[in-house]
Structure 1
């Protein structure tokens, strides 16, 4: 789902981790009925209004997310919105990658991990990210995008 943005505007990478390709059908009582494509469309529309471009990607593989964080830094991205899915709670490698780059990272979650299972209460991503927005469904992504020009 990697969208090729217009490089005349600052680019925001929107990186999505494991199982987020199943949005719309995966536990809609937790994650809602919108698909990742629906969320990407909303982000693309709002990004234009904000004078930004978004590059929305999803992978079930941790290494891809790390490579994309490095790429965001190397290309001078304005920011990264990162929903690392379950890697949020397990990946020291993502923590290290976020700490290694100068691009601001905003952690994003559809649900509120702190109201869920205890193992979801720790966030390695959140420990390294500039901010976290969670628990507001797809609005979490839009609010994170709204914050980018203020970073």
Structure 2
């Protein structure tokens, strides 16, 4: 099996997605993944709209948080969110196709910082998200290496 970091990132994402019931139930899907980065998509469904007839912020947050999860776990090292913050810049609406692009900003020891930009189908930024992650013991795919030292 290949130990190439791109291959490891794809294998880790495939393993995560197989048991990521929350993402799959919301229609979140992986568009691209690589070491320290990911791009995920989701269409805002009518069941995701709040009492103001706009997309519920929790759904946009979940998409961004999930993109961060795929980026920080791309090294095959189990990693979880520690703290997060989101700023909503524009509303979303039923039928909008959202894309969350996550990138690693900094890593020190077991802690990582990831930034996520969420855009709609028009390319408009609807939210920006920053999260801090913490590496735990263990791998996602046992027969592959961890491709970043902690």
Structure-1-length-normalised TM-score: 0.30
Q: Is the helix fraction higher in 1 or 2? A: 1
Larger gyration radius, structure 1 or structure 2: 2
Q: Is the strand fraction higher in 1 or 2? A: 2
Structure-2-length-normalised TM-score: 0.31
